[in-house]
Amino acid sequence: MTRDATKPFNGEEQIEKTLIKDPLKLYLDVEANFDAIRDKAETLLWPENQDEARWSDILDRMAEQAGMPWLPPKGLEQLKGLACNRGLWEDLGNGYITKKPQKKKTSVQVIPETEPDDEGFVRLRVNPQNAGPAPRIHYAEDAEVSTQSPVLSDQFLKTNALRVRFLVVDPSNQYETGDPVVWENKLVIRNRLFEEGGKRKVELLVAPKGKLRYTLDGSEPREGTTYTGPFEIGDGDTLVRVFAECDGLEAKSEFRFPARGQKGVQIDDVKPAQIVNLKKLDSRNKTFSGLKEAKEKGVCFENVTLTVGQGARAVQVMVGEIKVTADYIESILTTVLDQFDSATPVTMSFRKAHFASGHDLKRFAETLGIEIQQGEVIQ
């Protein structure tokens, strides 16, 4: 066979053509040839009669094993990722890989879609995991759960229990029944300022339930006065610190009430501050303006909900009790908005925002037209 002298000689291309002939010695596409490569790796790279092997040893054997086909750069790492993602191998987290992972057990992912309301009710989304095509989710509120417990009719539960236990069963027997998963509610402390007989009084409430203690001198409320009913606070500026406890759950809150006659919420310009109630940026402009302000001031958010679009063409992204930056939120929005046109509505809500100072909080609220009420700021 003669070479066409008019074409430049490409040595790398000729080697590839030789290696991909039968029997294959070079695989250029790991994913397309996954099964064949995995079989070779399990036969040639694992020590004989062992299911577990140190990954660094497998890499060394790859370089030494003449019978192992050649792979693209980082091809073995790609094979490992594909095999683990498909549940065929398992990374044991200690530097070892097993080619015979243990049978997965059922479990459940519980996501609160709302914050507790005034009665402590929360709407939960319950996602079964490793549970086969028709999972059965048993649940028990403030009690132990078993296969005799009620079964969820769908993947949602509205509850004001302190704890809900979930047990997932796979009727197809593909997966073993795992341990119960326990979700815990949060104690929410609220207050009401009112006048009675010319005196200012404060009523405290906790949901779903619990015992309350409070202090008026700035000291630790855990050891404070037991709350038995509304109490007088006088006419001066007053800080009420509150501690709630119920069956192992705890919560703390602070409420500052300005002196009689003073208007608006009193915020110290110097101290760090937090907004601790639901706030919403109800337009595309407000959302991006709010994120711009937040980036400039280093604000972090928790319990964020982003909604893009409307009706059947809507995407909602929720971030729970994780402190995230404005840059992080904006990166999520940018990715989602790639699927929509420039007129698509965007809203953002959050239940907690952290500021370096009270001055930054006030500036943020003023710029975006956010109204701050008594009890919504902690310093």
Phi (first) and psi of residue 364, to 5 degrees: -60, -45
**What is the residue-wise DSSP string for 22-74?**
SSP-B-S-TTTTHHHHHHHHHHHTSPTT-SEEEHHHHHHHHHH-TTSPB-STT
Residue 222 is given by DSSP the state G
CA 324 to centroid of chain Cα atoms: 10
111-143 residue pLDDT tens: 988 888 888 899 999 999 988 889 999 999 999
CA 99 to centroid of chain Cα atoms: 30
- Torsion angle defined by CA atoms of residues 284, 286, 287 and 292, in that order, rounded to the nearest 10 degrees: 120
CA distance 118 to 372: 19
143-175 residue pLDDT tens: 999 999 999 999 999 999 999 999 999 998 888
pTM of the model: 0.64
243-302 residue pLDDT tens: 999 999 999 988 888 888 777 678 888 989 999 888 999 999 999 999 999 999 999 999
Contact 179, 166 (CB under 8 A): no
CA distance 341 to 309: 9
Among residues 375, 377, 379, 378, the alpha carbon closest in space to that of 204 is found at 375
Amino acid at 362: K
Number of H helices, E strands in the chain: 7, 23
- For residue 233, pLDDT over 90 is answered with yes
Neighbours of 72 (CB within 10 A): 12
- For residue 72, pLDDT over 50 is answered with yes
Contact 164, 157 (CB under 8 A): yes
CA distance 359 to 249: 33
Which pLDDT score is estimated for 59? Answer: 92
Which pLDDT score is estimated for 183? Answer: 96
Contact 287, 281 (CB under 8 A): yes
